[in-house]
Amino acid sequence: MEEKQKMKNLLSQKSKISKEIEEIQNNCLHPDKTIKFVNDDKGGTPKPMWACDICEKVLNIPTEKELNDWLGK
């Protein structure tokens, strides 16, 4: 029974943290962004995506030119 309560508490904390992260990301102006390899939710192959340097929110797919510039660094 102790494990069940511990799991319930952990899941509750996880939910609270996820909501806090979402709120921060939604209020962030994303002033600085970088192309980073990002995993999708399904555990597929990491893909290069624009992500905010402050809140780490995945923003959008880089253009071919942006990718080539990034790879050339």
- Which tens digits make up the pLDDT trace of 6-63? 999 999 999 999 999 999 999 999 999 999 998 877 777 899 999 999 999 999 999 9
How far apart are the C-alpha atoms of 66 and 3, rounded to whole Å? 49
| Domain residue limits, the chain | 2-71
Listed residue (63, 30, 32) closest to 48, CA to CA: 63
Q: Kindly report whether the global pTM for this prediction surpasses the value 0.95.
A: no
pLDDT tier at 1 (50, 70, 90 boundaries)?
Answer: low
